Structure 1
Amino acid sequence: MRLTLFKKILFSMLFISALMVLGMAWSINDSFQTGLQKYLNHGEEERLEIVSEYIAPYYSEQNGWQGLTPDTMLTVLSQVFNRPRGDGNEPKKARKELIRRLFKRIVVLDENDQPIFSQRKSKSTNEIIKVPVIYQQKTVGWVTTQKRYVIPGELESTFYHQQQYNLMWIVLWVTLLSFTLAWLLVRHFLTPLKRLENAANSLQEGDYLTQIDVKGEDELAALSLRFNELSGSLLRQKENREQWLADISHELRTPISVLKSEIEALQDGIRKPEPKYIDSLHNQVQNLSQLVNDLYQLSLSDAGMQFDLAESVDVQQVLATSCSQYQLRCQEKQIQLQSDFNLKKPVYIKGDKKSLTQLFSNLLENSLRYTDAPGLLQVKLKLNKQQLQICIEDSAPSVPDQALPKLFERLYRVDESRSRLSGGSGLGLSICQTIVKAHQGEMIATHSALGGLTITIYLPISES
């Protein structure tokens, strides 16, 4: 039989409830029986005190207890333990038999703890009730009897069995009530888990719009909230994946279509294989190759495969090398490249030198490509507490306000037609964002005071 969580919790609660009810029933029954016995023994003690008062006058200092005879003792017991039943007419034979039994059970001891009559003395003092006999303010003997550990009379026995019968019914009703309450409570508490199971089945079937109605603030409610977040995350990933595939298809279709049309023109004789047409084909192949390389690098960065962050890298040296490599190209485009590195000594970070070189090259290439001539490109490096702050800002043109948060999205272009003409794939800044995150840093895009765009990068400094 498959034990579900509902059955496990239900059986556990029933088992615990049954143990508690049985334990309480046993404790109550034992306490009641002990209390009843103590009550009866206390009554016996009170009667023995009366017997002690009745037999005290039969003692004398000269003769001791010679004045107390068995017949006298039977008379005293008859007076003290007179318990009429029913209408008070009890048979004399039954009455005499009761008194004889009392005479055998009640033992009178002298001051030396020796029985006055030929009766057997109890060996254990813990099992007897012992009342002193006082004569002229002096203890001259004892009246003892055996303690009761069973219910003696018919009336007491009937009362005791009636209470046991009532307790049995109370146990049965409490057990039934515990079962009902346990079933209802377990069903109520596991309702969120049932909803969670149904939602998980829907999610497994591909319904990413599944959401759970969350009620309360307990652990199951928190788990349902995490499930809703997971469902929303999977939905966004599905939409991003579909958009990603659509964008890639669109990006690949453009250079392939141009290549196809130009090759067909050469095949049909519309164009002759002149150098300018071959150069055009070569440029399209280069654009396509660059796009494929960017896609490959981005896929590697997503998998976390190409970064080796174990080495200490001097960021100032890497950035200065990148700026010197772009100095000539900036002059050719009439863009002034200014660098400002005010660090007094090298500052190292734990990172991958190759990927950091690619990061700075991509950012400089992006600024060089989209800055109008004559223009200005400034690169600044400074120490900000325990972080390196790198600012790359350029002159006009800038980007719209609504485009700033989207600059690091894959295949996003502010001006698609202009980007294609300049050879951009829309993946450069996305790759830069991946590299910065891999180095536990942060990259922000804002408007520049020069009229263009400012890319600010924060990289944590190595403690060593």
Structure 2
Amino acid sequence: MRLFTGLFLTLAGQALLAAAVPGGLLVWNMHSSYIAQLAARDSERLEAFAALAAEAARAGRPLELLMPELDMRDPQRLGGRVALVTPDGRPIAGPSTTAPPRVERPVVLNGQTVALARVVRPPQLTSEDRHYLATQYIGIAAIVLGLFVALLVAAYEIARRWARPQEELYRMSRDVVQGEDEVEFEERGPREIAGTIRNLKRIARQFSRVEAARRTWLVSIADELKRPTQELGDRLSLLAASQPPTDAELMTALEDDQRRLTRMAEDLSAVALADLGRLPVRFANVDPRALIHNAVWGNSKRALAMGVRLETSTLPEYTILVKWDGERIEQLFGALIENSLRYTPAGGRIVLGLEGSRDAWRLIIDDSAPGVDVGLAQRLFEPFYRMTEAREDMATASGLGLATARAIVEAHHGRIEAGRSPIGGLRIMVVLPASPPTA
């Protein structure tokens, strides 16, 4: 609609110019032509008056007596506008003025100029002149108005013809961008637009096939990863119990690798299922304080080994019951802590907090410097996105942590945001309703 309005207003403005400019030129030309016509008529009448004055001078009549006769005989044309002067410019009769004459004719007697007849004042329009001009101006106005209306109708039709397929094309492209694969629109409008619509339909179908294959592959890869990582964990347990005992440092490294693989498989599965809209969540009454303490306890050993303090703050002093999926929230905390460990240097700290907000709770995790550019903060939630400041010992992380966190938060009907932390690094704030909204 906005495209149609903008196009129509543009064409309407051009139509107004196309009608008004020629109309103005017609009025100007009409006015100029009529002024020229009056000047020619003054010239003819003054020529007759000069001849009459020459006959009067030949008969010996005083020239100054001719002016009252002229005023009486032709009061609407030359009356009060003609002056007689000597050849050297001295006044004989009629109005005197210092302005140059509009028209001038000599009064000739026996081949000599005895006087000059001059029109010294502009013509006065008579009632006939005014009626004639009014008729002409009304006719021109009618023509201009008719032309403008015709151009306005043409502008409306052109704007409608061009804007409608453009708006359809815009809506179709928007649907394609939003992931709609079934886009059906009538192929109408100019040939180029109809061709673009056909191409967009093909792109939408191809995108649908590729996207469906991608999502299926992600789910399949995640499922395939889970089995060998679980089996690897079982074999590591057997290896740890074997005699003689395996080197403790080697076992720690193997267990750490197995834990990373397991978390990577879980994160990939969560992101893939969320992408399909099938991330399973089982809501039950849980205590978020206990979940936070479990997350701190489960990651404190690893954080300590990396020289990072894992702390809590602003936790309520009493037990809280909310309706969340406890396992998914633990996975959320694990992903958030994993992300903070990637960028927090030795000697830094990670702080987890919980604050109430009406019928929701804010889960906050802050880490030490270095911080993050606010303009890039939301990109952190894209799958496999990595910042260049990650620690060298975390280079093997999957890059799925915050994408997993966002998937879990959205499954709980909440929101997740990133920004600057008051302790210098990154702040991740998760807002979750105390219970899922009823359908």
TM-score by length of 2: 0.47
Work out which of the two has the higher radius of gyration on C-alpha atoms and give 1 or 2: 1
